[in-house]
Amino acid sequence: MRISIFGSGYVGLVQAAVFSEVGHQVTCMDVDTARIEKIAAGNVPFYEPGLNELVQAGLAQQTLRFCDDTRDAVESSDYLFICVGTPSAADGSADLQYVVSVAEGIAAYMTKRKVVVNKSTVPVGTADRVAQVISEGLTARGADIPFEVCSNPEFLKEGSAVADALRPDRIIVGARSEDTVREFRRMYEAFNRNHDKMMFMDPRSAELTKYAANAMLATKISFINEIANIAEAVGADVELVRKGMGSDPRIGYQFIYPGAGYGGSCFPKDVQALDYLAKQSGTDAQILPAVHVTNERQKRKLPDHVMHRFGSDLTGRTIGVWGLSFKPNTDDMREAPSRVLVEAIWAAGGRVKAFDPQAMTACEQLYGQREDMTYCDSKEDAIDDADCLVICTEWKAFWAPDFEDIKCRLASPVIIDGRNLYNPALMEELDIEYYGIGRGRSVGNGT
């Protein structure tokens, strides 16, 4: 099948590579010429395990190509996937300017029937809006060309997006016509062989399903973080509580890991967008704003721990930081808890020495060169003569370090663990002053 993908970000590039892997003829279009030239040359501009290899395979077998020409992308394919960004506006709503721009381009250049697919995460009703934009564009041209706008939301996790796309647990499609349903079944046949994962519904229900799923996962994270804060206050260990909770099959173990808060391009944006949608529709949603507020407060836990331990004036102090990306296996620092931490340290007069296996370049692009920031080549360099170690991201490389070496390198043997990687009892045996999230020991009162 001939498919064009508009947008070469996380969603667009992964979907283009995966569709080409199974033999579809895929065109990936982006208005950023330099970006797609880099991708075609083997330089994917973000870290996603397995993606660069998949892109190169598609280019080699000539099932994937790149272009910066909207007309080319529209005319060369029958199925047009919109995979552009929908960033948050100041009021929390999703900014649809890039989606609308793609729709206008489709209307300007289509000459025969097209199936337009919203794969970007968009507010409920966006399929109708895209259809309206295309209809108005065709009317302005005096053209009468059939088309259908569908919703096919993505459910990819950064760090495992390729695996998620190759082996999806569900494929949700919002489509109205039986012809289009049959075409989607053919399109996804290679991903649907083990058992039927396809779920068909109306476009508005498909759009809301995506928001609801992300908001539910964010809610679980904020809930367990609230439990962690209670555990810390009453002297309980949230890791034991988490295991007791997760053993209930109605709850399960996924997404109940306490920590320094969620980040990334999806959860923060989607929770706020769904809350905005609720307000616009006259619904008095109370859980959604609480989830967001709880998460923003949780991001302050690590800098609060540092300042409770060393004081509010960090002049002359150096803080070693392990992990900058918002989660492992990505270099994405959007809404990352590490940003709240390092900015708070700087505001208090302290210095930061940081290491991340993949996000060093992204961090330097954010903050540039500054006297109070050292970009380190290894996790060991990041803690040399530092007053403490703070762990922001649970990269596997941080799970089983040499604690004796850590003690030797640190100016004082203090670890503030934002991901609960280590056993408090072991830390006590090693004479390491250790603070986790909800582990029954509060930095503030020293208990």
Residues with a catalytic annotation lie at 266
Closest C-alpha to 193, from 171, 208, 224: 171
CA 403 to chain centre: 31
Q: Which tokens go with 243? A: 């295991």
Question: Quick count: other Cβ atoms within 10 Å of Cβ 250?
Answer: 5
- 3-state secondary structure labels for all residues of 229-286: HHHHHHCCCHHHHHHHHHCCCCCCCCCCCCCCCCCCCCHHHHHHHHHHHHHHCCCCCC
DSSP state string for 376-418: -SSHHHHHTT-SEEEE-S--GGGSS--HHHHHHHSSS-EEEET
**CB-hemisphere CA count at 13 Å for 248?**
7
Residue 352 CA to residue 335 CA, distance in Å, equals 19
Question: Quick count: other Cβ atoms within 10 Å of Cβ 61?
Answer: 11
User: Hey, is 321 helix, strand or coil?
Assistant: strand
Residue 356 CA to residue 321 CA, distance in Å, equals 9
DSSP state string for 117-184: EE-S---TTHHHHHHHHHHHHHHHHT----EEEEE------TTSHHHHHHS-S-EEEE---HHHHHHH
Residue 200 CA to residue 150 CA, distance in Å, equals 11
User: Hey, is 194 helix, strand or coil?
Assistant: coil
User: Hey, is 43 helix, strand or coil?
Assistant: coil
Cβ-contact 134, 141 below 8 angstroms: no
